[in-house]
Structure 1
Amino acid sequence: MPRDRSEGWNDIADQYLAARSSIGADLVRAWARENLPPSASVLDVGCGSGVPIAQVLIEDGFNVFGIDASPNLVAAFHARFPDTPVACEAAQESVFFRRSFGGAVSIGLIFLLGEDDQREVLRRIGDALEPGGRLLFSAPREICQWDDLLTCRPSRSLGEDAYVAHLQMLGLRVVGCLNDEGGNNYFDVVKNAVRVGPP
């Protein structure tokens, strides 16, 4: 049987659309306004339906590109934002990583992936960022594992130390951690001008 690259989210897309709240949207909006140039290109990795994260970025005039592996969620994204490019692809292999971006966000995705896939997606995002570009991604600071409430599949955080070390190897620096109104942690990351680790 072919692997479900959406990690179970395509099967429960309707439940996700009904359950997704606006938690985190204000934080992402403030982060983008503070750290990205006006109208910068921003890659939304694991964009889902585009609500609320891509929505606030689009409303603020950023040039958003979305990636999601769920055909049902990508269809909802396209219906809501027909003029915004969106690719129905796994984050591990999206063609959008051939472009360069001033910013990237990945909210609610990284910790859904296996350890190797987490590292690969972060590498691809880092490669696609322009020097000085910013990344915001959500994951707990603690090393932990839990079952997702909707998909019932395991989620895992590698922990702050592991993320910081991996990102450093990629020429990226964690410059802070942010928390939204739901208590979720976000790593705020900047790309160095020169890569400092092995390819």
Structure 2
Amino acid sequence: MAPIAPGRLLRPGMRDARVAQLATRLVAGGYLDARPGAEGDRYDPALLDAVQRFQSRHGLQTDGLVGPATLHALNTSAAERLDQLRVNLERWRWLAGDIEAETLLVDIAGGLLSYYRDHQLLWQGRTVVGRPDRQTPQLKPLVSRLPLNPTWSVPPTILREDKLPEILRRLASRRTQNYPITRRLPIVMAYWTAQVAADGALILRNDFYARDAALLAALDQAGH
């Protein structure tokens, strides 16, 4: 299937010649029913729903905007996705023995922090990871303290909009707290670009650290 051509950001409601390519790709992927009566160049509500479902399955922001990240995911071939699964199965082989019954798991590619007890997920939240030029490493340290509601520097724009008093009132009731942990917990920092979600759906993410290619080359060289 021909890739969707690059160009301006595709937004719901707009007309663009590439909308027909977008619809074809989503139909082929099972995200959109064939629509013979639809206007070929118009980004309509049915297409928006399909794009958002595609974004959700690929770890992207579900805003319906087809920009560089979504376009890259749309143009990734089935063969490349298969290689992505091979790479992540190998990563899982490395890490499976490190994940203990009680573990903090950082999903670097997904920007998620999960807490497991008795191998069951008890809590999950967003976390900050490094940019491609300052990558978060994969490692397994131990933690003994967990800061909640850390301090935050107010951006100048918010100050100019006179929202500082409201923010200060909220912060007064949500002071930074350091919760001691009775024993040190292992924290596994993993980089998965393919993962099975709690509902069984396969999530395929863009490789924003560009780590998959080197591992795939090593697997090919080893004949795996």
- TM norm structure 1: 0.27
Structure 1 or 2: larger strand share? 1
TM-score by length of 2: 0.25
Structure with higher Rg: it is 2
